[in-house]
Amino acid sequence: MIRPFRGTLIILSCTVLAGCFAPMTTREAQGIANARLAKFCNNKCGKVSFGRTQRINDRWLVDFDAPRHKFTVTVENDGNSKVDVWDK
């Protein structure tokens, strides 16, 4: 009775851990970047729209356009992010 339970637990644990170590997708990077930019702007940047998303080495660069600024959010694979701002 204990062995089948243990085997099932091991298989489920491996499946869950494999999902944790999977590389970040474009949508995940855009979601993190969007949340980071919303926190950075705090509704003061005007209407912001997605620009371009590109992967460089082990990080994502997500570009956003606003009426007066251009934003680039750098998203690392571990979920950390940083916002850079340029005037238009």
Instruction: Report the share of the chain in percent with pLDDT over 70.
Output: 81
Does residue 12 lie in a domain region?
A: no
Residue 68 phi, psi dihedral angles, 5° rounding: -115, -10
Does residue 39 lie in a domain region?
A: yes
Does residue 10 lie in a domain region?
A: no
The CATH number for 41's domain is 3.10.450.630
Does residue 73 lie in a domain region?
A: yes
Compute the mean pLDDT over every residue in the chain, rounded to the nearest whole number. 86
Note whether 79 and 33 are within 8 A (CB). Answer: no
Q: What is the rounded distance in angstroms from the CA atom of residue 50 to the CA atom of residue 66?
A: 9
Residue 67 has pLDDT above 60, yes or no: yes
Read off the pLDDT of residues 7-44 as tens digits, 9 standing for 90 and up: 776 776 666 555 556 678 999 999 999 999 999 999 88
* Counted domains in the chain: 1
According to the model, what pLDDT value does residue 10 have? 74
Residue 65 has pLDDT above 80, yes or no: yes
Domain that holds residue 57: 24-87
- State both tokens at 61: 């660069």
